Structure 1
Amino acid sequence: MNRPYAIVVVLMSLLFCMNAQASVTLSGTRVVFPAADKEVTVQLTNDGKQPALVQAWIDKGNQRTSPDAIDVPFVITPTIFRVEPGKGQTLRILYTGEPLPENKESLFWLNVLDVPPKVSGKDDVNRLQFAFRTRIKLMYRPAGLAGTAGDAPAQLKWALGTDDGHRPVLKATNPSAYVVNLAGVELKSGGKTYAAELGYVGAGETASFALTGANGAALAGGTVHYSSVDDWGTAHAHEATITK
């Protein structure tokens, strides 16, 4: 067997042997923590056929922060635990009382790391295993905020701009007190449609979204079509005109 062919065979065998599916799932796609509540809970379920070792932590937005180095106003319990196949585990998230802005939502991130059990036996020598990390938004919502979370997405103000590399971007300004989560964004300008990267716009903040295929295009105005995701994970369509 020649060397290139041998490499292909080995890679293909590893591809078919690897475990590439997360077994631990969360009950929702985001967590809202009302200030009036002492704690919130998140349900996890192991849908796999093997036990899973799970680690959970919360960060402020830097996904590379080590769980040992986090500094957030929340306590999560348990932090490390085992979930048997077909079973579940409830995560409790408690607010420590550290002062947070009272006039807008504060955004954090809940991380759940699913580590599969170590394989053994001759048949599993070439098996590749992966630890899967799920990361969802955790929004601390003070009481008495102006407006509603449902009305916030329609309040976004859109404008054209450029990034540090002088590439065209869409800029969204959120004047509301709520974090706006976006599931789809595209710009229609000059008879063409440009897809934008996805993301979110923090309360009272402005975010930029790169436009695919727009480099060198003479963009001047247009219409933004975007979809937002509410507290329950439901998408809602919106349309807005570019402002200068």
Structure 2
Amino acid sequence: MNTRRIIRTVICSALLLGGIVGPMQAHASVVIAATRVIYNAKERETTIKLSNEGKTPSLTQVWVDKGDEQAEPASVDVPFTVTPPVARLDPGKAQTLRIAYTGEALPADKESVFWLNVLDIPPKAKDEGGKLNLLQLAIRSRIKLFFRPANLPGNPEEAPDQIQWRLVSGGIEASNPTPYHVSFAEIEIVAGERSAKYEEGGMVRPGEAKVFPLKGDWHMATGTKVRYQAINDFGGPHRNEVALQKQ
């Protein structure tokens, strides 16, 4: 799972008459200032900044979901409000989003995870004379929103190093005994000159055991190590390696 997942949604298209639209690249004009949001329970609200780095105005729609990326904003029931939910953002300007916890019960002994969505809707493209084949895209960015209760034991920065690793059929199992979510960008098993990797990224929830499939050429031997790159609260890398014990 990437630190920032982009979903492209077609919002308007013209009829394509006798032509083929070539490869297209969609780039979000509206950029989120972080790759994750940490909401500490003791805070009344938390904020995050959006910036329009494009050359045209954008309309932004913002909402929080529980993890179902197909859920419509109006149908999502979450204990957070985000303001402003809709706003115009001019080129070179910034907008501060305010996220407030509305008080519904969440687990007090572990983190909860939600997703913050930012939909970047570009202005309608000008087609003078009606001679162009137009395809407009709205780009949705989704980043994790972690709700962190007060007085959790341990330290979130040290949580990746508390993961317990075990070889299983089809890959390596990561067990998380901590109350914090641990996100990985990469996991590698090294045995001598052989190695196997998992590079797609993934997250292990508190108290969860998750299997990551491995690709590569390796075998279990004395001195086999697990090397991993986790992602900290600021979106930066946390790298470490530990010896993998024979089962």
- TM-score bin, normalised by smaller chain: 0.7 to 0.9
* Contact kept in structure 2, 1:172 and 1:207, CA below 8 Å: yes
Equivalent pair of 2:195/2:216 in contact (CA under 8 Å) = no
1:131 counterpart letter in structure 2: A
Alignment of 1:1-244 (within 5 A): 10-11=19-20, 14-15=22-23, 18=24, 20-122=26-128, 125-162=132-169, 168-189=170-191, 191-196=193-198, 197-213=200-216, 222-243=224-245, 244=247
Question: How many residues are paired up?
Answer: 226
C-alpha separation between the residues in 2 aligned to 1:19 and 1:233? 25
TM-score (norm 1): 0.85
Moved more, 50-59 or 124-133: 124-133
2:68 aligned counterpart, secondary structure: coil
Question: Partner amino acid for 1:205?
Answer: E
Deviation string, structure 1 residues 151-191 (Cα, Å, up to 9, x no partner): 111001111223xxxxx122111111111121221122464
Report which stretch shifted further, 222-231 or 38-47: 222-231
1:37 counterpart letter in structure 2 = E
Preserved contact between residue 19 and residue 129 of structure 1 (Cα < 8 Å): no
Contact map agreement 2:229 2:240 (CA 8 A) in 1:
yes
Over 3 Å counting, the alpha-carbon distance change for 1:126 and 1:202 in structure 2 is same
Higher RCO structure (Cα 8 Å, ≥6 apart): 2
1:26-59 CA deviation, whole Å, 9 max, x = no partner?
1111100001001101110000001111111111
- Offset at residue 124 of structure 1 (A): 7.2
Q: Percent identity?
A: 44
Q: Greater CA deviation, 61-70 or 106-115?
A: 61-70
Indicate the structure with greater helix content.
Answer: 1
* Comparing 31-40 and 227-236, the one that deviates more: 227-236
Shift of 1:78: 1.4
Q: Give SS of 2:96's match.
A: strand
| Structure 1 residues 69 and 230: CA distance shift in structure 2, 3 A | same
Query: C-alpha distance in 1, partners of 2:131/2:77?
Result: 39
Q: Is the 8 A contact 1:107 1:138 kept in 2?
A: yes
Alignment check: 8 A CA contact 2:191 2:219 kept: no
Question: Does the CA contact (< 8 Å) of 1:14 and 1:127 recur in 2?
Answer: no
Counting strand residues as a fraction of each chain, which structure ranks higher? 2
- Aligned equivalent of 2:5: none
Question: How big is the shift at 1:204?
Answer: 1.7
Gaps of 5+ in 2: 1-17
**Whole-angstrom distance in 2 between the partners of 1:142 and 1:126:** 51
Contact 2:62 2:85 in 1 (8 A): yes
